[in-house]
Amino acid sequence: MTTTYTVAANDGTYASSAYGSIGLEQPEGDVIPYADLTPELVIGWVQAKLGGDEKVAEIETALQAQLDEQAAPTKAAGVPWAS
Protein backbone atom coordinates (compact mmCIF):
# COMPACT_ATOMS: atom_id res chain seq x y z
CA MET A 1 0.00 0.00 0.00
CA THR A 2 1.28 3.44 -0.82
CA THR A 3 0.17 6.46 1.14
CA THR A 4 0.94 10.11 0.61
CA TYR A 5 1.58 12.45 3.50
CA THR A 6 1.90 16.17 4.14
CA VAL A 7 3.49 17.77 7.17
CA ALA A 8 2.45 21.41 7.51
CA ALA A 9 3.63 24.29 9.67
CA ASN A 10 1.93 27.65 10.06
CA ASP A 11 2.76 30.46 12.46
CA GLY A 12 -0.29 32.57 11.62
CA THR A 13 1.59 34.64 9.04
CA TYR A 14 3.79 32.20 7.14
CA ALA A 15 3.26 28.62 6.06
CA SER A 16 5.51 25.77 5.00
CA SER A 17 4.99 22.13 4.22
CA ALA A 18 6.70 18.92 3.19
CA TYR A 19 5.07 16.04 1.37
CA GLY A 20 5.91 12.67 0.00
CA SER A 21 4.70 9.15 -0.47
CA ILE A 22 5.75 6.03 1.28
CA GLY A 23 5.14 2.35 0.74
CA LEU A 24 3.75 0.33 3.63
CA GLU A 25 4.09 -3.42 3.67
CA GLN A 26 1.07 -5.59 4.25
CA PRO A 27 1.19 -6.82 7.83
CA GLU A 28 1.33 -10.47 8.65
CA GLY A 29 -1.76 -11.88 10.29
CA ASP A 30 -5.06 -10.08 10.51
CA VAL A 31 -5.53 -7.08 8.24
CA ILE A 32 -7.46 -4.09 9.56
CA PRO A 33 -10.54 -3.46 7.42
CA TYR A 34 -10.36 -0.23 5.41
CA ALA A 35 -13.43 1.17 7.19
CA ASP A 36 -11.66 0.72 10.55
CA LEU A 37 -8.54 2.74 9.64
CA THR A 38 -8.15 5.96 11.61
CA PRO A 39 -5.93 8.98 10.94
CA GLU A 40 -3.98 8.25 14.14
CA LEU A 41 -3.28 4.68 13.08
CA VAL A 42 -2.10 5.55 9.56
CA ILE A 43 -0.07 8.56 10.79
CA GLY A 44 1.65 6.25 13.26
CA TRP A 45 2.55 3.82 10.46
CA VAL A 46 3.90 6.62 8.26
CA GLN A 47 5.93 8.13 11.09
CA ALA A 48 7.39 4.74 11.99
CA LYS A 49 8.29 4.05 8.35
CA LEU A 50 9.93 7.48 8.02
CA GLY A 51 12.16 6.76 11.00
CA GLY A 52 10.11 7.47 14.09
CA ASP A 53 10.10 10.46 16.41
CA GLU A 54 13.66 11.49 15.52
CA LYS A 55 12.88 11.83 11.80
CA VAL A 56 9.57 13.57 12.49
CA ALA A 57 11.46 16.07 14.69
CA GLU A 58 13.95 16.67 11.84
CA ILE A 59 11.09 17.43 9.45
CA GLU A 60 9.46 19.77 11.97
CA THR A 61 12.80 21.54 12.55
CA ALA A 62 13.27 22.01 8.80
CA LEU A 63 9.76 23.44 8.45
CA GLN A 64 10.40 25.83 11.34
CA ALA A 65 13.62 26.96 9.63
CA GLN A 66 11.59 27.69 6.50
CA LEU A 67 9.11 29.75 8.54
CA ASP A 68 12.00 31.62 10.17
CA GLU A 69 13.54 32.34 6.74
CA GLN A 70 10.23 33.70 5.47
CA ALA A 71 9.88 35.96 8.51
CA ALA A 72 13.49 37.22 8.39
CA PRO A 73 15.04 36.46 4.99
CA THR A 74 18.80 35.94 4.86
CA LYS A 75 18.94 35.72 1.04
CA ALA A 76 17.64 37.91 -1.74
CA ALA A 77 17.64 37.93 -5.52
CA GLY A 78 18.02 40.80 -7.93
CA VAL A 79 19.59 44.16 -7.24
CA PRO A 80 19.20 46.39 -4.19
CA TRP A 81 17.92 49.36 -6.22
CA ALA A 82 14.67 49.78 -8.09
CA SER A 83 14.77 50.02 -11.86
Q: What is the pLDDT of residues 25-73, one digit of tens each?
A: 888 899 999 999 999 999 999 999 999 999 999 999 999 999 999 999 9
* Residues present in the chain in total: 83
Q: How many domains does the chain have?
A: 1
Range of the domain at 22: 2-26+34-71
Q: What is the pLDDT of residue 38?
A: 96
Residue 76 resides in a domain: no
pTM exceeding the 0.85 threshold for the entire prediction? no
pLDDT score for 81: 85
Give the orientation angle of helix 52-71 with respect to helix 39-50, to 10 degrees.
90
Higher pLDDT, 16 or 75: 16
What's the pLDDT score for residue 34? 92
Task: Give domain status of residue 83, yes or no.
Answer: no
Q: What is the pLDDT of residue 83?
A: 62
In a domain, residue 21? The reply is yes
